[in-house]
Amino acid sequence: MSAHEPAGERTFEIVVITGLSGSGKTLAIRAFEDLGYFCVDNLPVALIPVFADLCSRRPDVSRTALVVDIREGTFLKEFPAMFDALRRGEGRRVRLIFFEADDDALIRRFSETRRPHPLAAGKPLEEGIRREREALQPLRERADLLVDSSRFNVHELRRYIQDHFAPRPGAQPMNISIVSFGYKHGLPQESDLMFDTRFLPNPFFVNGLRGKSGLDSEVRAYLEAIPEYLEFHRRIVDLMIFLIPQYLRERKSYLTVAVGCTGGRHRSVAMAEAISASLRAGGYAVKASHRDLEKE
């Protein structure tokens, strides 16, 4: 229960899923259904308030997820005002998830499924993707959570949804994720905060450490002997401890902190693990993941 939720009051949860065609929205709604959410795909925008009102009156429905996207003709015109009104409703927790992927991933998926892109009729697929990305940018900016599915397979995307949305009795009202990454593999688009560890000496160039990772004790010991590493860790944790209550006060549901180094195997991994451990010691539920750990 959050500080904004009076004792004994039932809060109805609505998760709205939108985003680019081919980015994984259909897989996501199936994952939500497996978690016990009442799910609807491609509901007309005009019916969403009616749907939300009907569901909120049913004692057997406490969580619902629905997909809305560019297939619905009036979507772009009507969605922003409808969504803002939905969020203002009392007794509801409304969240918007925006799914996206890079162009290469989207092109590959459309090629594999041989399905037409909704905005590419008679035009190159790349043009349809570009037009949709531009058209949906205002919705992307409203999202509570950005999900870049470029590097997810079906099972990883399902696990991601489970990690973020499976009901956890007594859990804090914010999902905190610490993600390590390598700059040479691209920035994680879903991050709220980003820290760069590339100013630290790189274990990659130390004999005996190149083949190891930031999960190994030898790499951690090497980094922990560097005063700047320890000071950077302390300052990040202090900032997080300051920021988390501020975000909670604004009812932010997700906080993704990205920690980067060159390749995403040594410095960023060790720092992400250290930050996660410190926040857990402070009583926060934190999930650490390492996006590029297995990459060359």
What is the rounded average pLDDT of the residues 45-60?
Answer: 86
What is the rounded average pLDDT of the residues 259-267?
Answer: 97
Q: Which residue has the higher pLDDT, 206 or 11?
A: 206
Is-contact 36 29, C-beta < 8 A?
no
The structure's pTM equals 0.65
Q: What is the phi-psi region of residue 26: left when phi exceeds 0, alpha when psi lies from -120 to 50, beta otherwise?
A: alpha
pLDDT at 120 over 60: yes
Q: Give the pLDDT of residue 296.
A: 75
Distance CA 266, CA 202 (A): 8
Residues 6+ apart with CB under 8 A from 294: none
Q: Give the pLDDT of residue 168.
A: 61
What is the rounded average pLDDT of the residues 239-261?
Answer: 88
Distance CA 178, CA 159 (A): 16
The amino acid at residue 184 is: K
Residue 191's H or E segment, with its range, is none
Q: How confident is the model at residue 4 (pLDDT cuts 50, 70, 90)?
A: very low
Q: Give the pLDDT of residue 1.
A: 35
Q: Give the pLDDT of residue 2.
A: 38
Least confident of 85-94, 187-196, 264-273: 85-94
Q: Facing residues of 177 across strands?
A: 256, 287
Q: How confident is the model at residue 264 (pLDDT cuts 50, 70, 90)?
A: very high
Residue-wise pLDDT tens digits, 69-104:
887 766 778 888 888 888 887 778 899 999 999 999
Q: Give the pLDDT of residue 97.
A: 94
pLDDT at 110 over 70: yes
From the options 3.40.50.300, 3.40.710.10, 3.30.930.10, 3.40.50.180, give the CATH code of 12-165: 3.40.50.300
DSSP 92-135: EEEEEEEEE--HHHHHHHHHHHTPPPTT-TTS-HHHHHHHHHHH
Residue 266's H or E segment, with its range, is none
Residue-wise pLDDT tens digits, 132-157:
999 899 889 889 899 999 988 888 88
pLDDT at 31 over 50: yes
Question: For strand 63-67 and strand 12-19, is the pairing parallel, antiparallel, or unpaired?
Answer: parallel
pLDDT at 184 over 90: yes
Q: Which residue has the higher pLDDT, 158 or 184?
A: 184
Domain limits, the chain: 12-165, 175-290
What is the rounded average pLDDT of the residues 193-209?
Answer: 96
Is-contact 132 103, C-beta < 8 A?
no
Q: How confident is the model at residue 3 (pLDDT cuts 50, 70, 90)?
A: very low
Distance CA 223, CA 129 (A): 43
